[in-house]
Amino acid sequence: MSQVGQVLTWFGPAMTTYSFPIAALFATTVVYGRLSADNELTACKAGGISLISLTVAGPAQAASARCSSAANRRWVGWGRRV
């Protein structure tokens, strides 16, 4: 069991750098899919809320990509050196 924990410790940062951006993209897809399926986008437009104000996820995805890239450079490089 200690070897499994050690392997997960070494591969954890590399797996995290791939899983966070994928999770962010999946969550965004699910959110906008549900909004569209329940006609909530139409209700927002009818209520006077612009679709541009609903696309706040764009900057959030960019921030997620930057954090993932920084984590990749910092921790994955550390795991390969040791």
Averaged over 22-48, what is the pLDDT? 84
Structure tokens belonging to residue 47: 């209520």
The tens digit of pLDDT for each residue in 37-59 reads: 888 878 888 888 777 777 776 67
Residue 75: per-residue pLDDT: 65
Residue 69: per-residue pLDDT: 74
Structural contact between residues 5 and 67, judged by C-beta atoms closer than 8 angstroms:
no
CA distances from 13 to 4, 16, 25 (A): 15, 5, 19
CA 70 to CA 75: how far, in whole Å? Answer: 8
CA distances from 45 to 3, 34, 36, 42, 72 (A): 55, 16, 12, 5, 39
* Residue 76 scores a pLDDT above 70: no
User: Is this prediction's pTM over 0.75?
Assistant: no
